[in-house]
Each structure stands twice: as structure tokens, then as C-alpha cells.
Structure 1
Amino acid sequence: MSNNKLNLLSFKDNIRTLHLTWIAFFISFVVWFNHAPLLMAIRDTLGLDNQQIKTLLILNVALTIPARIVIGMLVDKYGPKIMYSLLLGISSIICFFFAVADSFEQLALARFMLGFVGAGFVIGIRMISEWFPAKQVGLAEGIYGGWGNFGSAAAAMSLPTIALMFGGEDGWRYAIGLTGAIALVYAFIYYNSVSDTPQGSTYFKPKKSGAMEVTSKGDFFLYIVMNIPMYAALALLAWKLSPSGVSLLSMNVSYAIYVGLVVLFFYQVYHIYQVNKEVFIKETPEIHRYKFKQVAVLDLAYLATFGSELAVVSMLPLFFSETFDISAVQAGLLASGFAFMNLISRPIGGLFSDRLGRKRTLTICISGLAVGYFVMGMITPEWFIVLAVLATMACSFFVQAGEGAVFAVVPLVQRRLTGQVAGMAGAYGNVGAVTFLTILSLVSAQTFFFVICGTAIVTLIAVQFMDEPRGQMAEVLPDGTVQMIDVH
């Protein structure tokens, strides 16, 4: 195998790990989005109104915000093998709970907890970065993310048919329960089939746990500022569930959540200081520095790319059904076109990033998705369905190529922090999803698409401040010697 090509037909060494890991991610995405194509059946069975349906969509991506941060820290500390196995096993149990729910409150609780499975993506990012060199990591991460992300499309295409095969008003319950059973079985398969690093390699761990390490005073304050939107998104969710929104929570509980989020934020600031107080005492040696602005730009880029994908994948079947007056199965198949592009677009984004440069590729992708969402905002019932689907898939190409480009950079920031960098970027994807879905519950679908377009334009400006990764990064081996790792 050359330095620039991956033999994907092989099932040995790093390619074997890549295949086993994208399958784990694929299953986690099937579980995470198993409700979206079945929403109309769930609505009919339990007599839900449209506001409750939209609440379920928001709840599905809420817990993933803190989960990705926490899972990022845990994977850096304990390794991806055990973390992916645990995540799939635990999420399967929650999936069974959702399948047997018989009230909106039970559905809401199960959907909120299932946001946890969305953190699986972060685990694989660290796993793939351990097995592939810098010249291949963009393509490898793109394949992992793209083929795994296709799980949402697979759910959209297959679950309505599976539900019909089981038949009856409870067909959707069996379809969702089946996805949980698959996750449970694969948890054991994955644990017994992979290792955290190639034989003889060192798994670098953070020096301290509880917060991400930074290497300058300016980065310390930027890190704190970049944490605020994550708490704001959770507060937005609480507001949406309060009497001001769908009244799932009482006003007193909502206020308690707001206070809790403020307390939690300052508790995190305390941990950030404890982990990084040395930057106020002495300068970090140049060889061990990295720029946190790289993380900040990647966070915003993933908010615009994956955040919008999450929101659109969740609402697109219903959007097509209502816009063109077609059945649930037809709408699910047409909407799957958005996620279907993951198979090729995310790997292409990673490949272009490896070949053309990280910053240039991100610039092209985000420009393309801004135009794409503007066009989607123009879709009306008068459009030919074929044109609407083509516009959706064209937009989707740039969205997911952009995701591939983001995570082609993530492993090149600082190796021992890869899980945490991936976790924070991933969490920002969910910040975007919660924000966009909340906006969708207040405005028309057309305005929703235009808001995402505007967000992409702001992100495009931010990307211009990112530095192209060059040279090498330094990591310290357990015996104290320094190992240099190529990032270019």
C-alpha cells in the first residue's frame, strides 16, 4: 500500500480497523435516527401533535452536546475500544425503552437519553487517527465519518418497510427494537475485534483530566468563551420545553435548569483553571504549543456543516411529505438522498483536504453549502420533485464534504487531545442542530434554510483565520522522551 492510496478491499491491519469502526458508527447512527422516518406512525399511535413531534426532534440531539465533551475526555483516557463497546451496549437498552414507550413523556425521556449514542462519532475519530498517518488521515476519517453517517439514510430507507413487514400499529416498535438488538450484538463483536493502536505504538494520554489543555493565556480565555454556546444551547432547549414552549417542564423546573447550567459553567471554568493554571506561571515551550484558535474555527465549521445536517435529516421526511403530499415511505426514500451523499462526499472532503490543503478545502465546501441552502430555501410545492431532490443532494455534497474537511484537521491539532478536540467540535455540531431545530419550530421551513445559509457565510469568514497545519507536533513518551509526529 502506498502512502497516498488505501486498499479498501483489504481486511488487514489499519484497513480492518477502519471497516470495523465505521460499521460501529453506522450502527450508532441507525439507532440515533431510527425514529425520524417513523414519526408519522409514532404520531398516529400515541396521538401526538406537531409541537410534540418537533420537541422529540430537538430532544434527540440535546444530550449529545455534553455527551461528546465527556466521551472525548474518556476516550483520550481509556481508549476507543472499550468506550465504543460500552456506548453501543448502553444505547441498545435505551433504544428498547423507546420502543415500548406508551406516552409522550416516556418517548421524550428515551429520545433525550438516546442523544448519548451520538457521541460515538468522537470515539472513532481517535481510533482512526491512531491507525493512519497524516497523508492518509483525511481520507480515512472521511470514509469513517461518511460511511458511518450513512446510517441515518439506511434508517430512513429501511425502517418504514421493516415496520410494515411487522405490520399493525406497533410495527414501528419492532423496527426500533431491532436496531437496539443489532447495537447490542455489535458491542461484543467490536470489543473482541480491535485494539487501540497498532502493535508497538504508544497511546498518548492527556497529562491531566477534567478539561482540555491549552498552551497560552490567550487560549485559556478563548477556551472559556467557546464553552458558552454549548451551555446556551442547553438553556435554549430548556426554554423550548418550558411553559413558553411545549410545557413539558414546569416554570420552576426550567428556572432550576437555568441556575444549574450557570453553576455547571463556573464549575467547568474552575476545572479549566486547575488543568491550565501553569500557563499563568510560566510559558509553555514552543515545541509543545498548539493554537486553540484552530479548535475554535473547527467548532464553528462543524456547527455549520454537521449541525445543519442533523437538523435537516431530522425534518426532511416530514418536509417532503407535507410539501409534495406524498406517503411516509416515499418521503423517507426521497429524504434519504441528503444523507445518501455521505457515502462519497465526506471521503472526498477528506481526500481533497489531504491533497489540496486543509484551509482551501474548507473554504470551498462552506461556500458551496451556503449556496445550496439558499437554493433549498426556494423549494415550493410547484417544483418538480426530481429538481427538489437534486437540489437537496447537491447541497448535501458540500455539507458532508465540509464535515470530512473538518475532521481531516482535527487529528492534526494535538494527538493526545484528539478525543477532546473531536468532542468539542462534535458538540458544536449539536449546538447547531439544537439551534436550527428550535428556529424551525418558530419559522417556516424556507426561513429555516435561509438562516443556515447566513450561518455558513459567517463561518466562511471564520475559516480564513485558521492556520494550515504544517511541520510536526510533539508528544512525550512515558519515559520522558519526545516523539515528533508529522502533520503535513
Structure 2
Amino acid sequence: MSTSETSSTFNLFSFSGKMKTLHLSWMAFFITFVVWFNFAPLLQAVKETLGLTTAEIKTLLILNVAFTIPARVIIGMLTDKYGPRLVFSGLLAICSIPCFAFAFADNFTQAAIARFALGLIGAGFVVGIRLVSEWFPHNELGTAEGIYGGWGNFGSAAAAFTLPTVAVMFGGDDGWRYAMAITGLMSLAFSFVFFKNVTDTPKGATYYKPKNLGAMEVTSKGDFYLLLVMKVPMYAALALLAWKLSPTGVSLLSDMAVNGIYLGLAALYLLDITKVYKVNKHIFDTPVPEIHQYKFKQVAVLNVLYFATFGSELAVVSMLPLFFSETFELTPVVAGMVASAYAFMNLMSRPGGGWLSDKFGRKPVLIILTAGLAVGYFVMGLVDSSWPVWLAVIAAMTCSFFVQSGEGAVFAAVPLIKRRMTGQIAGMTGAYGNVGAVTYLTVLSLVDYSTFFYVISGTAVLGLIALLLMEEPKGHIAEVQEDGTVELISVSS
């Protein structure tokens, strides 16, 4: 990666070479989050126009995240195989269709199908992780991935701030429809911009692809079994979502339908096992040469950490306005403003976590940020009405810094494990963030706010213990070119 395009200085105000790729990547990710989160700020208007019940609205919110878990894994595989340029452009274009479908839905069933399909756009994040890793050297990678993740992630906050105003500008009962349709148009238009202006790698660099598309490659027997174990929570989270739609939850699906989903998920897991075995059966006969080995344990630890960081962020962002309004008897508007400060931290915290990782090493920074995360949520569990509001806000903001810096630090490490599988690794780690959100929101529906924060703090402690077992990526990643020669890609100084 010695081309002038990647060796130029890291200048945020530049729009050429690697910086152009970074800016177009975060913009694409930003748009996917605007589209994915365009429902929550317009929820009340949708409820009134379509005549939906509170249970149906809750169901739409569940459906919005359901498909994202498997989608991130699938999109990660497709990215490794076909390249980020094609996959991201295609995703932006294809997902504009369910966005338009939701905007012009006439009943709950149409809205539910469109919202479920829109979970696919939540997988866009994974594509940019691989693209940015192709363009930046290891000593700038954490910062670049942090900017990509943090600025793109801000799309959800941007949707919350702007879409209600856009809906009012159009006016009438259908204002929300136009606001949502505009986000779909943005997605469709940017798919062409992205395709025209981005390349998968700098000029002259090789884009390494996995040997097989069907499943993740591992390089030892122990890693094979660990991969099978790490897949279980993803299926369990989907089963949990199905349970929420059952008569025990919001009663959208019958017991028979939910049992059918459980059986289907079990069958899919068994199929998944056979695919993993088919791709990796050679490791049971012939050891993989050391130069080509990687440790799946690193992926597993990063999965757990993203479960605790991004999983808690998604869960906390959705409950924080209610928490502040109930605890301190604030008006919904004031509570919303206070809670939005949590999302605002993304602009600086996530790039900050990536920059710290570049400067001081992946593992030490992750240890400090995860410890801060555990303490931060423990303190949030202590907040009650006797606290001054300003102190509670500072506690939430401090906690938010550790959460989002932790996300930046996780994805500073992801691209350094195995280059040709970066999409798949990012897909699995990203999916664990959604698994965390589903888990924490389920916990929240069963316990009080304090216990909810303590549970997140406890999982962060488990992440910290797992992190102590992780080895920092160091030396080089070996990748084989088409002519059989081996290229060594540096991952540490």
C-alpha cells in the first residue's frame, strides 16, 4: 500500500485519494442510518394516519432491527467477494424500494413487511469498514474507521432532528410520507454518486477475496468449535425477537407461527454448521501453515465487546428520554434534548477511540475504555430523583464517551485480523452489536432502570475478562496473490 493515494498526509479537509474515499464512505453510511432510523421521529404521525395500536407500533420497532442481524453477516460475505463499491451502491439503491413502500403504506401489514425489509440497510456499516481498511495504513486505520463509524452513525440523530421539521414543511396528515420518501430518494441518488466515484482499492493494489463465500474460514480445530459457539447468540437473538411477537409479547404471531420460526432457526443453524464444516474440513487433516493462520479468538473477544458497546448504545438511546422524563419529571421535549446529547458524542468519541488505538495500541486502549464503560453504567444505575439533573447528564455523557470510544477501538482492531475476510469479521462483530441491543431491550422490559444499567455494567466486566485473553494484532497479515506470491500486509509498527 505504498501508492501516493494512501501515503499522502491525513488531512480531513482534503477530498482526493484516500480522503475522498473516507468522506464518500461515511456519507453513504450516514444515509443508511437516516433511512434506517427515519421511523422513530415520525412514529406518532404514522400511528395516527394508519390507525395503529401501541402494540403494532412496538412490533414495527422490533421488525426494524430483526433482519439486520443476519443481514450484516450476509453483506459482510458479499463485500469480501464482490467488493465494497458494488455492494454499497447496490444496497443504497435496493433499500430505497422498501423505504418508498413504507412511506406509502396503507395498513399495518404493508408497513410491517417494508419495515422488516428495511433492516437490510442497517448492514451498510459493514461495507465501509472493509473499504476504509483497503485505503489506510495500519497507523491511521483506527482514526479513519472511527471517523467513518462516528460521523456515519450520526445519521440516526440527524433523522431525529430534521425529519419532523421536513414533515411539518409538507404539512397535512401525509407530511411524514414525504419526509420518509425524501430519505429514500437520497439513498437512491447517492448509490449512483458512490458507484461513480469510489474504487475498491488504491491504484495498483490487490483486492483479496476469501476462498469460499459460504462460511467464515478458520485456521485451527479449536477455532472451528469456537466459531460454532459464537454463532449461537445470533440465532438466539432472532428467537428472542420471535418470542416478542408471540402471544406472550405483542401477539402479532400465533404460537404455531412462532414455533415454526423456532424450528426454522434450528434448521438454519444446522445448515450453517454443515457449511462451516464444508469450508473448513481440510483443517482436520492438514494443519494450516503458521504464516496463514489467524486467531479466531480475537474475533470472538471483539464480538463480545461490540455486544456491550454498540448493543448498549442502541438500547440506551431508545430508553433515555423516558428515563430522564420519569426520573426528573421533565417535559418530553427537554428529556429528548438531554438524551440527544448521548448521540451527539458520536461525532468525536468514536474517532477519538480509533485515534487512541492508533497511538497507544489496540489492546491497552480497549482495556481502559471497557473498564470505563463498566464503571459508567454502574454509576448510571445509581442515578435517581435525588440527583441534580446536571449531574445525571454529566454521568450519561461520560458513560457515552466510553461506549462510543469503545466502538471506535473495536473497529480499529477488526481490519487487522485477516484482510481478505475483513467484511465477514466486521459483519459478525456488527451483528453482535444488534444482538446486544435485542438482549438489553428485553432485559429492560423485565426489570427497572437501575437493574438494566447494572446488567450492562456486568456484561462489560465479562468483556473485560475476555479482553485479557486477547492477543494484540502484530507483525503482518499474509495474503496470497493470484500468481501464488505472498504479500505481507503490516498491522503494527
Partner residue, 1:240: 244
Amino acid across the alignment from 2:168: L
Instruction: Compare 182-191 and 2-11 and name the one that shifted more.
Output: 2-11
Partner residue, 1:364: 368
Q: Kindly indicate whether residue 438 of structure 2 is the aligned counterpart of residue 434 of structure 1.
A: yes
Cα offsets for 1:189-216 (capped at 9, x unmatched):
1111100000000000001110011001
Partner residue, 2:21: 17
Amino acid across the alignment from 1:218: G
| CA displacement at 1:372 relative to structure 2 | 2.0
Partner residue, 2:192: 188
Cα offsets for 1:77-105 (capped at 9, x unmatched):
00000111111112111112222234333
Q: Kindly indicate whether residue 97 of structure 2 is the aligned counterpart of residue 93 of structure 1.
A: yes
Instruction: Compare 224-233 and 391-400 and name the one that shifted more.
Output: 391-400
1:21-100 superposed matches below 5 A: 21-100=25-104
Q: Please give the alpha-carbon distance, in whole angstroms, between the structure 2 residues aligned to 1:420 and 1:365.
A: 25
Q: Kindly indicate whether residue 201 of structure 2 is the aligned counterpart of residue 197 of structure 1.
A: yes
Q: Kindly indicate whether residue 148 of structure 2 is the aligned counterpart of residue 156 of structure 1.
A: no
Q: Please give the alpha-carbon distance, in whole angstroms, between the structure 1 residues aligned to 2:392 and 2:250.
A: 31
Q: Kindly indicate whether residue 124 of structure 2 is the aligned counterpart of residue 117 of structure 1.
A: no
1:262-281 superposed matches below 5 A: 262-281=266-285
Partner residue, 2:470: 466
Please, which runs of 5 or more residues in structure 2 have no aligned partner? none
Amino acid across the alignment from 1:58: I
| CA displacement at 1:64 relative to structure 2 | 0.7
Instruction: Compare 432-441 and 24-33 and name the one that shifted more.
Output: 432-441
1:445-456 superposed matches below 5 A: 445-456=449-460
Cα offsets for 1:393-435 (capped at 9, x unmatched):
2211111100110001111000000000000000111111111
SS in 1 for 2:247: coil
Q: Please give the alpha-carbon distance, in whole angstroms, between the structure 2 residues aligned to 1:225 and 1:356.
A: 32
1:191-340 superposed matches below 5 A: 191-324=195-328, 329-340=333-344
RMSD: 2.0
| CA displacement at 1:54 relative to structure 2 | 3.4
Contact 2:372 2:399 in 1 (8 A): yes
Amino acid across the alignment from 2:188: L
| CA displacement at 1:114 relative to structure 2 | 1.3
TM-score (norm 1): 0.95
Cα offsets for 1:337-382 (capped at 9, x unmatched):
1111111100110011111111111111111122222233344455
Instruction: Compare 157-166 and 391-400 and name the one that shifted more.
Output: 157-166
Contact 1:307 1:431 in 2 (8 A): yes
1:117–1:450 CA distance, 2 compared to 1 (3 A)? same
Q: Please give the alpha-carbon distance, in whole angstroms, between the structure 1 residues aligned to 2:391 and 2:330.
A: 16
Instruction: Compare 368-377 and 429-438 and name the one that shifted more.
Output: 368-377
Partner residue, 1:401: 405
Contact 2:59 2:252 in 1 (8 A): no
Contact 1:36 1:314 in 2 (8 A): no
Please, which runs of 5 or more residues in structure 1 have no aligned partner? none
| CA displacement at 1:41 relative to structure 2 | 3.4
Amino acid across the alignment from 1:225: V
Q: Please give the alpha-carbon distance, in whole angstroms, between the structure 2 residues aligned to 1:408 and 1:115.
A: 25
1:136–1:439 CA distance, 2 compared to 1 (3 A)? same
Q: Please give the alpha-carbon distance, in whole angstroms, between the structure 2 residues aligned to 1:298 and 1:267.
A: 25
Q: Please give the alpha-carbon distance, in whole angstroms, between the structure 2 residues aligned to 1:192 and 1:282.
A: 44
1:168-179 superposed matches below 5 A: 168-179=172-183
Amino acid across the alignment from 2:413: V
Alignment coverage as a number of residue pairs? 488
| CA displacement at 1:314 relative to structure 2 | 2.8
Partner residue, 1:352: 356
Q: Please give the alpha-carbon distance, in whole angstroms, between the structure 2 residues aligned to 1:460 and 1:362.
A: 8
Q: Please give the alpha-carbon distance, in whole angstroms, between the structure 1 residues aligned to 2:394 and 2:103.
A: 34
1:395–1:408 CA distance, 2 compared to 1 (3 A)? same
Cα offsets for 1:263-320 (capped at 9, x unmatched):
1001010000110010001000000000000000010011001111112223334444
| CA displacement at 1:73 relative to structure 2 | 0.4
Partner residue, 2:144: 140
TM-score (norm 2): 0.94
Instruction: Compare 244-253 and 437-446 and name the one that shifted more.
Output: 437-446
Partner residue, 1:129: 133
1:191–1:465 CA distance, 2 compared to 1 (3 A)? same
Instruction: Compare 363-372 and 189-198 and name the one that shifted more.
Output: 363-372
Q: Please give the alpha-carbon distance, in whole angstroms, between the structure 1 residues aligned to 2:326 and 2:9.
A: 44
Contact 1:37 1:328 in 2 (8 A): no
| CA displacement at 1:324 relative to structure 2 | 5.0
Partner residue, 1:425: 429
Q: Please give the alpha-carbon distance, in whole angstroms, between the structure 1 residues aligned to 2:174 and 2:449.
A: 30
Amino acid across the alignment from 2:32: S
SS in 1 for 2:489: strand
Q: Please give the alpha-carbon distance, in whole angstroms, between the structure 1 residues aligned to 2:417 and 2:200.
A: 19
Amino acid across the alignment from 2:144: A
Cα offsets for 1:425-449 (capped at 9, x unmatched):
0011111111112222333333322
SS in 2 for 1:474: strand
Contact 1:37 1:332 in 2 (8 A): no
| CA displacement at 1:164 relative to structure 2 | 2.6
Q: Please give the alpha-carbon distance, in whole angstroms, between the structure 1 residues aligned to 2:8 and 2:131.
A: 19
Contact 2:309 2:433 in 1 (8 A): yes
Cα offsets for 1:206-235 (capped at 9, x unmatched):
011100110011111111111011001111
| CA displacement at 1:4 relative to structure 2 | 10
